[in-house]
Chain A
Amino acid sequence: MLDYTLRRLVYTLITMFAVASILFVLFRMLPGEPTMQVISPAMDAAVQERMKEAFGLNEPLWKQYFIYLKNLVTLEWGRSFVSAQEVTDILSYRFWNTLLLMAAGMCLTLVLGIGLGIVMAWRRNSALDIGGTVVGLVFQATPPFITGLLLLIVLSYRLGIFPTGGMYPPGQRPDGLFDLLMMPAFWERIVLPTITVGAYYISTPMLIMRDSMLEVLGSDFIELAKAKGLKPRVVMLRHAARNALLGVVTISGIMIGFAVGGQVVVESLFSWPGMGQLMVESAASHDYPVAQGTFLMLAMLVISLNFFTDILYCYLDPRIKITAAGMN
């Protein structure tokens, strides 16, 4: 188990390094000199030269690359071209906002999706099974910006049940995470984006869970569990669902990765001050340090989630350990 975890960790670090390197190249390939935003061509040539020196831009590219890597590790991610704030400061605030919304959306998706999948398979061909499949597929086929807009039109503008966007009422910025979580206004505002995310992704865990449940329910050990005299609920959860979960865990890792990308749309739609929104803003305003930081942060988030999925999978399926040990 430890061996497997260490191996996964090494792979994860390698992936992170690769992503960081690709980002370095990408940002240097972007049209327009990144320095244009801060170093005005109208300045005196000597001043331009001195400023380039200050930013380290006169160094050869390979040296810049090593400085870049060193700065990544030491968390010197530079300052925003626009607000001159430290990128790490901006990100640490935005990161939690994104994480909160994602956690809410993914919890809804996974808990409801897996739960429904279990019951749908257990009562195969019932109204719930057929209805659930149809509704799930309709939601999946509807892009989040449509679902979100419909929710906003009906529940916010027409019925006025939920606020239209933002994370807290204007002018009431909370001091820190705890304060935010204690605000009823925050919970009012998180409902619609959570439903938007949930509706779009729910069919994935639901249908995968249903399928793997049906497969597991045909197994010999399910018949034996029934023959042992276990209650149907115990057979369904302890034996069938527990085994069927393996397939969902794999898919969830991938799905959450996609959902991180999807945050851009949802956050823009609901004016949620998270990293998705930040990504759009910084790209639009050519704020390269912030854009680079946002991309990096989101990539790290996805990679870390995949790492945890692998570990969880290994914990859920004892057969994995043997395979990992066999690789030595």
Chain B
Amino acid sequence: MTKVTTADEFVLQVRGLGVRYQTSQGTVHAVSDVSFEVRKNEVFGIAGESGCGKSTLIRALLRLLPDNADSAAELALYRDQDLYGLSDADFRQNILWQEISLVPQSAMNSLNPVYRVGDQVVEAIRTHRRVSKAEARGRVAELFDVVGLQADLMQSFPHEFSGGMRQRAMIAMSLALDPGLIIMDEPTTGLDVLVQERILRRIREIRSEISSSIILITHDIAVIAEMSDRIAIMYGGQFMEQANAIDLFENPYHPYTLGLKNAFPSIRELGSELISIPGSPPTLVGPVTNCPFQPRCPFHLDRCASENPLPINFGEDHQVRCFRSEDANQLRHLAAEKSTWRSLN
């Protein structure tokens, strides 16, 4: 880090986080050597294909991993608390929801069908705060107003809500205790485009009113580009590249980022052809001994197959894991050609 930063500028600091699953096929290294910081009031976006380890990463942070998984980190600080050092009871009572809340991937199924929506938010509040039911209900009415739901909808059951309404209710719930960090896991996946747009607009409006930082996880490059201050591109359980949002899209270094950019339509370059990256993501079984993107990378070198590159810093706030990051200018040029990606097959 060239820039001098003080610790209290960060809400979350993670260094060298890894998660392994023991499966019948062997040990799966779902997340390996992930390091990042989330600063105050910022939206930190994590983008990647399905199965790249984004959901595992946040489950590790929230201690929601299944029994066959174990995770460790050199450093995992929320403000000044060591997330891995706390007892389960401490973590549950003082970190979960109170400090780090979650907008889950499937809002459709994340509300318990047999309880009223309002009561489920009340439950979140009363688990951590000693307030009366009436006070908690008052807070829920406030929150519903913030996300654009009428207060009397508190009395409804989840099946009476549309997908968009449930997502709003989930966002209301995540705001309930003014947490320092809200993790939004694919908050708009599964909603139709119009509802998606309205939810995103609402999240942006809320952002200006609250002081929470947000980790936004999605496979949708367009959403992440629109919402985030800083972005990490995840592949095969690693952060391939991370930078502030503008820098990442203007000066991408990693071949995977270049490929992702090609695969999504851009408003600025209307009419440009979409190019997909051939191949499929790695299975992550066994120890990581190569660059996970190497089999799909049109620019790979011989050493990419036997060595995993370490992150290299470019400028103040731009990190890349690639042996060819010095050749970025040349790669950017080549990556725009469709034939580059086809030659792999």
Task: Give the complex CA separation of A204 and B209 in angstroms.
Answer: 54
**Is B102 positioned at the interface, with any CB of A under 8 Å from its CB?**
yes
Q: C-beta contact mask, A184-195 vs B, less than 8 Å → 1, else 0? A: 000000000000
Decide: B124 and A318 in contact? CB cutoff 8 A: no
Residue of B nearest to A222 (CB): B112
Residue of B nearest to A231 (CB): B92
Decide: A227 and B102 in contact? CB cutoff 8 A: yes
Residues of chain A in range 290-323 having any CB-CB distance to chain B below 8 Å:
316-319, 322
**Is B111 positioned at the interface, with any CB of A under 8 Å from its CB?**
yes
Please name all residues of chain B whose beta carbon is closer than 8 Å to the beta carbon of A318 when the two chains form the complex.
Answer: 113-114, 157, 159
Please name all residues of chain A whose beta carbon is closer than 8 Å to the beta carbon of B123 when the two chains form the complex.
Answer: 228, 230
Residue of B nearest to A316 (CB): B114
Task: Give the complex CA separation of A242 and B114 in angstroms.
Answer: 8
Q: C-beta contact mask, B105-128 vs A, less than 8 Å → 1, else 0? A: 110011111100000000110011
Decide: B127 and A227 in contact? CB cutoff 8 A: no
Q: How far is the CB of A120 from chain B (nearest CB, A)?
A: 16
* Secondary structure dominating the interface of B: mixed
**Is B97 positioned at the interface, with any CB of A under 8 Å from its CB?**
yes
Known: A317-B114, A319-B157. A227 touches B109 (CB 8 A): no
**Is B301 positioned at the interface, with any CB of A under 8 Å from its CB?**
no
Residue of B nearest to A124 (CB): B67
Residues of chain A in range 208-251 having any CB-CB distance to chain B below 8 Å:
219-221, 223-231, 234, 239, 242-243
How many residue pairs at the A-B interface have CB separations less than 8 Å?
A: 66
Decide: A229 and B112 in contact? CB cutoff 8 A: no
Pick the contact of B127: A219, A223, A228, A316 (CB < 8 A): A228
Residues of chain B in range 26-65 having any CB-CB distance to chain A below 8 Å:
62, 64
Known: A228-B124, A229-B96. A322 touches B159 (CB 8 A): yes
Q: How far is the CB of A213 from chain B (nearest CB, A)?
A: 14
Residue of B nearest to A125 (CB): B67
Task: Give the complex CA separation of A16 and B114 in angstroms.
Answer: 32
Most buried by B among A221, A229, A316, A322: A229
Decide: B104 and A223 in contact? CB cutoff 8 A: yes
Q: How far is the CB of B104 from chain A (nearest CB, A)?
A: 5
Please name all residues of chain B whose beta carbon is closer than 8 Å to the beta carbon of A231 when the two chains form the complex.
Answer: 92
**Is B98 positioned at the interface, with any CB of A under 8 Å from its CB?**
yes
**Is B93 positioned at the interface, with any CB of A under 8 Å from its CB?**
yes
Known: A228-B96, A229-B92, A229-B96. A239 touches B112 (CB 8 A): yes
Q: How far is the CB of A253 from chain B (nearest CB, A)?
A: 19
Please name all residues of chain A whose beta carbon is closer than 8 Å to the beta carbon of B128 when the two chains form the complex.
Answer: 229
Please name all residues of chain A whose beta carbon is closer than 8 Å to the beta carbon of B95 when the two chains form the complex.
Answer: 229
Known: A221-B109, A318-B157. A229 touches B114 (CB 8 A): no
Known: A229-B93, A229-B96, A318-B157. A224 touches B114 (CB 8 A): no
Decide: A227 and B112 in contact? CB cutoff 8 A: no
Decide: B104 and A229 in contact? CB cutoff 8 A: no
Pick the contact of A229: B110, B113, B127, B159 (CB < 8 A): B127
Q: C-beta contact mask, B279-295 vs A, less than 8 Å → 1, else 0? A: 00000000000000000
Please name all residues of chain B whose beta carbon is closer than 8 Å to the beta carbon of A220 when the two chains form the complex.
Answer: 104-106, 109-110
Task: Give the complex CA separation of A224 and B127 in angstroms.
Answer: 13
Decide: B159 and A224 in contact? CB cutoff 8 A: no
Most buried by B among A221, A226, A239, A322: A221
Pick the contact of A224: B92, B110, B157, B160 (CB < 8 A): B110
Pick the contact of B98: A219, A229, A234, A322 (CB < 8 A): A229
Q: How far is the CB of A321 from chain B (nearest CB, A)?
A: 9
Residues of chain B in range 80-105 having any CB-CB distance to chain A below 8 Å:
92-93, 95-98, 101-102, 104-105
Residues of chain B in range 313-327 having any CB-CB distance to chain A below 8 Å:
none
Please name all residues of chain B whose beta carbon is closer than 8 Å to the beta carbon of A225 when the two chains form the complex.
Answer: 112
Residue of A nearest to B104 (CB): A224
Residue of B nearest to A224 (CB): B110
Please name all residues of chain B whose beta carbon is closer than 8 Å to the beta carbon of A242 when the two chains form the complex.
Answer: 112, 114
Q: How far is the CB of B181 from chain A (nearest CB, A)?
A: 13
Residue of B nearest to A243 (CB): B114
Residues of chain B in range 123-182 having any CB-CB distance to chain A below 8 Å:
123-124, 127-128, 157, 159-160, 173
Most buried by B among A225, A227, A231: A227
Q: How far is the CB of B98 from chain A (nearest CB, A)?
A: 7
Task: Give the complex CA separation of A230 and B97 in angstroms.
Answer: 10
Pick the contact of A221: B97, B101, B111, B127 (CB < 8 A): B111
Decide: B159 and A221 in contact? CB cutoff 8 A: no
Residue of B nearest to A225 (CB): B112
Known: A221-B109, A318-B157. A227 touches B64 (CB 8 A): yes
Known: A318-B157, A319-B157, A319-B159. A229 touches B111 (CB 8 A): no
Please name the 8 residue pairs, one residue from A and one from B, whose CB atoms are nearest each other, closest first: A229-B96, A220-B109, A224-B110, A221-B112, A220-B110, A227-B102, A318-B157, A229-B97
Binding site for A on B (CB under 8 A): 62, 64, 92-93, 95-98, 101-102, 104-106, 109-114, 123-124, 127-128, 157, 159-160, 173
Other than A227-B64, A229-B98, A317-B113, give 19 A-B pairs with Cβ distance below 8 A: A219-B109, A220-B105, A221-B109, A221-B111, A224-B104, A224-B110, A225-B112, A226-B96, A227-B96, A228-B96, A228-B173, A229-B92, A229-B95, A229-B128, A230-B123, A231-B92, A234-B127, A319-B113, A319-B157
Pick 27 A–B contacts, CB within 8 A, sort by A: A220-B104, A220-B105, A220-B109, A220-B110, A221-B111, A223-B104, A224-B102, A224-B110, A227-B64, A227-B96, A227-B101, A227-B102, A228-B97, A228-B127, A229-B95, A229-B96, A229-B124, A229-B127, A229-B128, A230-B127, A239-B112, A242-B112, A243-B113, A243-B114, A318-B114, A319-B113, A319-B159
